[in-house]
Structure 1
Amino acid sequence: MSVEIPPPDEEERYLEKLVFGDSEGFSENLKQVDKLFDFKQQEEKDLFTYDDSSEDEHLDQLKNRDALSESESDAASDEVENMADEDLYFVDESDDDRMDTDSDNEPASDSMSEYSDDDEAAWQDSDDEKVSVSLLGADRLRKLRRTAQDDKIRGKQYIHRLREQFERIHPRPVWADQIEGDSEDEHEQDTEAGHASTDVLTSTNPLLEFLKSNQTHNVRSQDTRFLPAGKIDISRLTDANIKKISRSAVQTLCFHESQPLLMTGGYDRTLRIYHIDGKINNLVTSLHLRNSPIQTAAFNGDDIFAAGRRRYMHKWDVLGGSIEKISRMYGHEKTQRSFEHFRISKNGKYLGLMGNSGWINIISPKTGVWLKGFKIEGTLVDFDFSQTTAKDAHTTLAAVNRAGEVWEFDVDAGTTLDRWTDDSGTGVTRIKFGGSNSRWLAVGNNVGIVNVYDRLKGSHRPAGTVENLVTTISSIDFTSDGQVMCVASRDKRDALRLVHLPTCRVFSNWPTSGTPLGRVTSVCFSPNNELLATGNEAGKVRLWRLNHY
C-alpha cells in the first residue's frame, strides 16, 4: 500500500529554509554581516553607562594629559633619576598600626642587668619597668614560676622568662649560629644552653651524624618545685611520628638519655628514631629487621637493643655501624625461649631477659655473655631494675609472679634481698620502679588496680592504691623525679591516667573525653620529665608537654 506524501506547506518550507538555507537567504545574510557587527559593538558599549558630566570630565582630563608640554615631562623624568634608592620606596605606617615609641630611651636599671642581651633590642619600651605581672593570675602563666612562692614579677623579667620558655620548646638551630659567624664563643654558649640542631646530615649512618653534630639536650638538675595535686598543666604537641607513622601498633617507646631522640618499634619490624623538637619531629633514621617483629627496644649509651618473639635479639652499634645478633646463652638455652621481654639497668651494666620456668637471665650488654640467673616460683609475669645511677650503689632486681609474690634480688652480689606478697593478690601483670633512688614500686593487675609502695618506709603495705581503670594494666612509667606516674591499659580506648605522687591521687582534668589517645599500647616519659609520649594501636605516637617542668 503506497502513501501519498502531501507537498510541504508554507510553515514547513520556512523551517526547511532556516535549517538548510537557500541561495536567496545566503546572499541576504552576506549583506547583513556589517549590520550585525555594528550591532554587536553597540551592544557591548551599552553594558556600561556613564553620567554625562563625569564623561565630560574624563575627556577633559585626557586632553590635559595630552597637552602636557615636553619640557615638563623631561623635568619630571630628571627628578626621578636624581632620587636616592631609599626614597623610591616607603613603609606604610598608618595611625592604627604605627607603634608609639619614646624619644628618650633610658638604659635598663642595674637590678635588671642580668636580663639584658648583648645585642640591644631594636625597640624598647620604658614602661616595661613599671609593669607588674602576676604569675598566679592565669593558669597559662604558672609554668613561668621558678618557685612555689613566685608570684609578681617585673615586665622585663616576664619577657625574659617567656623567651626562655619559647627556646625550650623550639631550640635554636645550628644554622643560625653559622650565619652569625660560627665563632668558638657562640659554640660554647650554645653547648651550655643545650640547644639542639634540626639539621641531619646526609650519610649512610644519619644517626651517627646526628649524634656528632647536635648538642646534648638540657637535662636540668632537680629543684625543689613540688607538683600540686588535683590538676596538671599539660598541652599537646605535634605527634612524635607524624613524619612516618608506624604501620602497626607501637609496642615500645624509648627516649635517649642525653639527646632529643625518641625511638619507636612494633610488629612492622622497623625501628624508627625521631628528632623531637615538639613542632616538626623529623625522622632521623629507620632500621628494618627482617623476620623480626619488635616487642621491646631500648637505648644503652651508643648501642640500641631490639627484640621480638624470637630466640635472638639485635644489637646496633651506632658508632661502628654494625648490627649483630645475640643468641647464645652458653648452656642456658632451655630457660630462654624468647628474647622479646628485656630490661636494661639504669647504669647500663646489666641486660635482663624474662625467660621461662620463672627464670630471669642476666647478660652483659657489651659482650652479650651470660652472667648470672635468678629464679622465682610460679609464672613470671614481669620484672624491673632499680633506677639508681650511683656507681657504688647495688642494682636491685624486682620480679613478680601471677599470684602477686614479689622477689627482690641484689644483682651485683647475686643474693636474695626480700620476698613478700602484693596486697592486691592474684592477677598481677606489671611491676615498675620509679622516682629518685627508686623510691616507688608500682604493681598493677588485670582488673585495673595499681598498688604503689614507698620503699623509703620499708613497709610492704601500699602507700596508695589507684583504682581508676577497670581493665588489665599493660603500661606503667614514672617521671625521673617521682612526682608523676602514668598507668594505661590497651584493652580499652583512652584507658590512661596520670597519678600524683606521693598523694596517689589521679589528676582530674586530664585526659578529657576529647583527648585523642586511642588504645594506648606504650607510654614513656622523657629524661627531663617535660614530655610524655603515648603509642597506640593505630601506629601513632601522641606527644604531650608537662608545663610544670
Structure 2
Amino acid sequence: MKRGITDSIEDETKLSGLLFNKSKAIVEKLKRNIESKDVDLKPVWIDEDDIHLAANTIPNKKSKVLQSERLKQKFESIMGTPNWAKIGNKQDSEDETSKIIQKVGHVHKKKSLTLPKNYLEVRKFPNINSETKSEGKVISCVEFHPKLSAALVGGQSGIVSLFSIGGDTNNKLHSFRLKKWKVTAAYFSPDGSQAYLASELDHSYCLYDLVKAKPKLHQLPLCVKRPKIFKLSPNGKYLAVSDGFDEIHIICAKSNERLRSLKHNSKVVSVAFDHNCQQLYCYCVQGDITIWDLSTYRALKKFYDNGCVNASCITDSPCGKLLAAGSKEGIVNIYDTANLDGPSPFPIKTISNLTTKITDIKFNATSEIMAVSSNCYPNAVKLVHIPSYHVFSNFPQQSFNYNNVQTMNFSPNSGYMALGNDKGAAYLFRLKYYKNY
C-alpha cells in the first residue's frame, strides 16, 4: 500500500517536472494579513499663524503649545467640533468609501452573475504554436489539459506538440512525431496523465504517456480498419470508433478490448457521449439519431433530426441538458434532452447563421457558449449565447482573417478558447468574463 502511494507521488512529480521545469515563470501567491494600526494623529496641515503666535495673546499662558490648546478648547466650546475634524474608526472609513464607490458607477463595476448576451469580451493572445509552426498546414486538433495550463496541438504533419498556456508567450514543453500519420483526433484522459491520438489513415491509435514523455502505438480491433470516428468518453473508460459505416464499436480504453458493436441501418457520421457517460448518441447520414444505453447496449430511442437532409456533426453539452445536431446545409438544431422521450422531439432552437457544412460544435464548460464552425468557408465560425441563443456580433472580428477553421475548443474553466485553421495556426483567445484557466 505504501509503495502504491509512493509511486503515485513520484508520477505526479515527474508530470509536474515535465510540464513546468522548462518554464521558470511560476508566480507564487502571497497571502498578506494586514494588521490594524493605531490612528495617526498628526495634523493634516500646519497653520503658520500658530507658529508666530505671540506669547501674550492669552494672559497667563506663556507657552505656545499651551496657547494653541487653549484656543482650540475655546473654539470648540463656542462652535463645537466640525465633522471633518472628528476621528472615526477604520470601519466607518471603509463604510464611507463603500458608499462613494456605489455612487460613482464608473469607478466600481460589479461582475454580472450571468454571461452578457450581446457582447463577449475577447482578447487575442499569441498563437499557441507560434514557437514551432511545424504541426502541419492543417491543424486538426487542439486540446487543453484538464489539470494544468497546457495545450496539445496536432495536425497533418504527424507532429504533436505540448505548450504551456498563458502570458505573452506560449513555451513549447515537448514535441514528438508519428511517422506517416495525420492526426485527426486527440483527447486527454480525465486525470491528464495520458493523451489519446488517432489518425483516419492508420489502423492503430497512439497512447502518449505524459509522465514518461513517450508515445506508444496500440492496434485497434480487426473490425476497425481506419478510425474515421474516434471518440473518448468524458470519464475515460470508453472509446467509440468506426470506419464510417453502419457500426460503432465500443472499446475499453484501459484494456483495448472491444466490448460491443452497435449496429445501425445507415452510415454513422458522428457520435457523442452524454455528460455522465451512460448513453451514446449516434447521428446517421440521413438525419436519424439513435440513443444507446451503454450499460445494456440497447437502443433506447430513435428519432429524426427535424429538417435534416444530410447529417454532419452532433455534440452533447457538459451540463447534459442540450443536444446539438449540425447538418451539411449549415443548420444546427438544439434539443432539450429532457424532451427526447416523446414520439417526435422538436428542437427548442435552430441556428442558421452559417450556410455551409457544419464540421464542429463545441460547448464551453458552463454550457453558456456554443461554438459552431464550418471548414468549407473562411471565417465561418459563430459563438452562440446560451440560453438566449443570440449570436455574439463581435466575434469573429471582421478585421482579422481566421481562414478555414478546422477545430475549436475551450479550456476547462472557459478562460481560454482555441481555433485551429488550414494555415498551420492554432489561435488562442482570452475570454475575460471567465477568470480561471
Q: What is the rounded CA distance, in whole Å, between the counterparts of 2:102 and 2:177 in structure 1?
A: 52
Q: What is the rounded CA distance, in whole Å, between the counterparts of 1:107 and 1:267 in structure 2?
A: 69
Q: Mark the runs of 5 or more structure 2 residues left unpaired by the alignment.
A: 1-40, 45-86
Choose the corresponding residue for 1:414, options 271, 288, 297: 297
Q: What is the rounded CA distance, in whole Å, between the counterparts of 1:112 and 1:255 in structure 2?
A: 46
Q: Report if aligned partners of 2:228, 2:244 keep a CA contact under 8 Å in 1.
A: no
Residue in 1 aligned with 2:116?
A: 228
Matched, 1:272 2:241: no
Q: Which structure's residues are more often strand, by fraction?
A: 2
Choose the corresponding residue for 1:542, options 423, 427, 433: 427
Residue in 2 aligned with 1:71?
A: none
- TM-score, scaled relative to structure 1: 0.59
Partner SS, residue 132 of structure 1: helix
**Structure 1 residue 348: deviation in Å?**
1.0
Q: Report if aligned partners of 1:441, 1:453 keep a CA contact under 8 Å in 2.
A: yes
Deviations 1:382-406 (A, max 9, x none): 1011123xxxxx5210011110000
Choose the corresponding residue for 1:132, options 101, 116, 130: 101
User: Larger relative CO (CA 8 A, sep 6+): 1 or 2?
Assistant: 2
Q: What is the rounded CA distance, in whole Å, between the counterparts of 1:365 and 1:533 in structure 2?
A: 26
Choose the corresponding residue for 1:371, options 246, 249, 259: 259
Residue pairs, 1:181-200, within 5 angstroms: none
Partner SS, residue 117 of structure 2: coil
Q: 1:518 to 1:112 in 2, by over 3 A?
A: farther
**Structure 1 residue 321: deviation in Å?**
4.3
Q: Report if aligned partners of 1:405, 1:420 keep a CA contact under 8 Å in 2.
A: yes
Residue in 2 aligned with 1:475?
A: 360
Q: Report if aligned partners of 1:354, 1:383 keep a CA contact under 8 Å in 2.
A: no
Q: Mark the runs of 5 or more structure 1 residues left unpaired by the alignment.
A: 1-101, 114-126, 149-224, 389-393
Q: What is the rounded CA distance, in whole Å, between the counterparts of 2:208 and 2:385 in structure 1?
A: 37
Q: Report if aligned partners of 1:454, 1:462 keep a CA contact under 8 Å in 2.
A: yes
- Amino-acid identity (%): 24
Q: What is the rounded CA distance, in whole Å, between the counterparts of 1:299 and 1:342 in structure 2?
A: 13
Q: What is the rounded CA distance, in whole Å, between the counterparts of 1:502 and 1:129 in structure 2?
A: 34
Choose the corresponding residue for 2:331, options 422, 427, 449: 449
**Structure 1 residue 350: deviation in Å?**
0.7
Choose the corresponding residue for 1:516, options 390, 398, 401: 401
Q: What is the rounded CA distance, in whole Å, between the counterparts of 1:271 and 1:312 in structure 2?
A: 16
Q: 1:419 to 1:243 in 2, by over 3 A?
A: same
Residue pairs, 1:38-77, within 5 angstroms: none
Structure with the greater alpha carbon radius of gyration: 1
Q: What is the rounded CA distance, in whole Å, between the counterparts of 2:43 and 2:154 in structure 1?
A: 60
Q: 1:269 to 1:457 in 2, by over 3 A?
A: same
Matched, 1:533 2:418: yes
- TM-score, scaled relative to structure 2: 0.73
Residue in 2 aligned with 1:492?
A: 377
Q: Report if aligned partners of 2:128, 2:170 keep a CA contact under 8 Å in 1.
A: yes
Q: What is the rounded CA distance, in whole Å, between the counterparts of 1:497 and 1:475 in structure 2?
A: 11
Q: 1:412 to 1:355 in 2, by over 3 A?
A: farther
Aligned pair count reads: 345
Deviations 1:91-150 (A, max 9, x none): xxxxxxxxxxx988999935899xxxxxxxxxxxxx977852679649xx76xx34x3xx
Matched, 1:439 2:327: no
Residue in 1 aligned with 2:205?
A: 313
Q: What is the rounded CA distance, in whole Å, between the counterparts of 1:401 and 1:521 in structure 2?
A: 21
Residue in 2 aligned with 1:248?
A: 137
Q: What is the rounded CA distance, in whole Å, between the counterparts of 1:103 and 1:128 in structure 2?
A: 22
Residue in 2 aligned with 1:109?
A: 90
Q: CA RMSD in A?
A: 2.7
Deviations 1:325-366 (A, max 9, x none): 22141xxx24x1212431111111111112343111111222
Q: What is the rounded CA distance, in whole Å, between the counterparts of 1:323 and 1:454 in structure 2?
A: 40
Residue in 2 aligned with 1:304?
A: 195
Partner SS, residue 456 of structure 1: helix
**Structure 1 residue 290: deviation in Å?**
0.9
Matched, 1:462 2:347: yes
Q: 1:340 to 1:288 in 2, by over 3 A?
A: farther
**Structure 1 residue 318: deviation in Å?**
2.3
